[in-house]
Chain A
């Protein structure tokens, strides 16, 4: 009897120990193994993780980023930098997941404004000392930190001067006898001519909606001549519905739809497909930012396209108060250090190196990937597109310094984008669009 009880007990205990063992094995922490430090103190090898929204490492900004990473690894053989890069939309969502799980990445690309604000509130990004980034080594343009500063504290550094222009295909314009538009009405006429010849006038990424926000802001600035008017409306210092210039702008946008300015399926087109339409010569224009300057030197694109790539300013509105040189410019993308970093000191060293004017800014300009947010040296080898972009930036007037959809909370951005979605899908009127903007701004101020 006694034997039997003992046997049973042993059986139970063994089973229990086994289960605990299995559960413990399931829960073992292996995250730290990924970026472990080994070796002695003087020359310990360190693996840093950089999270980027530039998956193409062979051209454009991805190439510039990779060049800086490679430079640093060459100068610091004990440091290995692992780059995790995904396209921009998945990047934004994955970043939120990383924020929620406190993933130990060391340096991350950040979108200034609403997105960065969320990261700050989650205490996922580290505060920076602006004094560290003054002087000749960095050479940032005045005001470049505006969208990265919250409550007087700096949380990231901008990588580019972002501004909206219209890329256009010179050949399509000349072959069809269309004048490069400098005014709104000329743009509408150009669209009509292209449509009559079965060519898409302008390609856009309507599925993602933010381009519509920029387009609206760009033309609002041209109607009312005040780059801060729309930002004041977001802040509710004025009302969207009471300032007539916003309704006028919405009516201009309506004209775009009436003349079929955009490709037929623009509401389902994402960034890549809208760009393809333009680079394959099927659309005459592409309304996009200066960060696409790299198209001119991207050898994956046809030589025919590259040779015919032109840049124009966003056309003036005839009876508006804006000037031709007004520019919708801001600093959108940048980098930040994370609080979840396992090697914060090493990460900062690399971060400081990367943001130097002779690293990111130089690489971005030399490869033609983007227009930096820092003073850059002209090399004399610039493409025509780069020269035009420099000219547009240097002569730019009335720059708002922020994109209005990113000027409020992420909830505001979602509401505004939803309103734009309904409007550009043709299910809301101009009046409704402005009323929706006002409701979204009022809601976030509550």
Chain B
């Protein structure tokens, strides 16, 4: 067996199917996309004219909708990092300290949004935020804040923030789960030692839990940025990028350009820039967020 594995031909044969699969499902589409991005084709199978960097020029210099989509994605990413993750860490710590049956129950409750289908979540929030029969406005009525009532997803001034809220809410369980398992991996004796040294409360967690969670935080920040950039389904199912372009995201914009506007070449140029933006975001978050154990 060892001899088979030391044979280069054998190694090649074993690795080849994996590489082939990777090449066909990842590299080939990217290469094809790259090729299409230099054309003005309406869709696969239609007339194809090479137009050089025209699509990229249009996108980068004249397409405010593209920049709006990117800005919204970055805002969502920041929303994840600044709002969602600290709350996730806080709840993970509280959950860990809770112990017993209650810990299990709450763990399940917090994870429920993650097992609900995106379609159901989108529909549910569309209904909850509906201005005429939605529960959000009804609650505002009950607590005497009728003046705050709003067409939450239908008004340009509140659509983005409402959508960010839905996305942060629906992704909360995943963040919590990661941090929770990270906290479970911190040895209890570290806390005991810190207690003996006089640390307690917030200080204890600030000095012990958070630094020891830094590898998890680093991965989570990267994932949050990527998730934000890739956001598509919930937006598509709730606002489809509207009203106006208030909630336009790269995924939805790309999809609509490719399939509704039949600007397939242009959509592929968006896809290529999309890949580049994702790679840069990953690089930056890996570069600037320390992931080593303190």
Contacts and interface: CB of A to CB of B under 8 A. Distances in A.
Nearest to A264: B131
A303 interface: no
A446 B155 CA distance: 35
Contact of B43 (A11, A19, A100, A263): A100
Interface stretch (A149-157, A241-249, A410-418): A410-418
Nearest to A15: B13
A268 B239 contact: yes
Given A16-B13, A122-B46, A414-B260, A263 B132 contact: yes
A99 B20 contact: no
Interface in B227-247: 238-240, 242-246
Interface stretch (A287-295, A373-381, A421-429): A421-429
Contacts of A426: 156, 243-244
Given A411-B261, A413-B261, A424-B243, A264 B42 contact: no
A266 B243 CA distance: 9
Interface string A182-224: 0000000000000000001000001101000000000000000
B97 interface: no
A340 to B, nearest CB: 10
B291 interface: no
Contacts of A263: 132
Given A118-B42, A122-B42, A427-B244, A266 B154 contact: yes
Given A410-B261, A425-B246, A282 B132 contact: yes
Interface residues of A, number: 47
B263 A425 contact: no
B44 interface: yes
B45 interface: yes
Contacts of A37: none
B270 to A, nearest CB: 13
B258 to A, nearest CB: 8
Interface in A263-281: 263-269
B154 A264 contact: yes
Sorting the interface of chain B by its residue count into under 10, 10 to 19, 20 to 34 or 35 or more gives 35 or more
Is chain B's binding surface mostly helix, strand, loop or mixed? loop
A265 B153 contact: yes
Is chain A's binding surface mostly helix, strand, loop or mixed? helix
A121 B47 contact: yes
Contact of B45 (A11, A16, A102): A102
A414 B256 contact: yes
Interface in A83-123: 92-93, 96-97, 99-100, 102, 114, 118, 121-123
A73 interface: no
A96 B244 contact: no
B242 A425 contact: yes
Interface string B133-161: 00000000000000000010111100000
Contact of A12 (B7, B45, B262): B7
A118 B244 contact: no
A410 B242 contact: no
27 contacts: A8-B3, A8-B4, A11-B4, A15-B10, A22-B17, A96-B43, A96-B262, A99-B43, A100-B43, A122-B44, A122-B45, A206-B243, A264-B151, A265-B130, A268-B243, A269-B154, A410-B42, A411-B262, A411-B263, A413-B260, A414-B257, A418-B245, A421-B244, A424-B243, A426-B156, A426-B244, A428-B244
Top 6 A-B residue pairs of the complex, sorted by shortest distance between their CB atoms: A414-B261, A425-B243, A410-B262, A267-B243, A264-B131, A265-B154
Interface of A: 8, 11-12, 15-16, 19, 22-23, 92-93, 96-97, 99-100, 102, 114, 118, 121-124, 200, 206-207, 209, 263-269, 282, 409-411, 413-415, 418, 421-422, 424-428
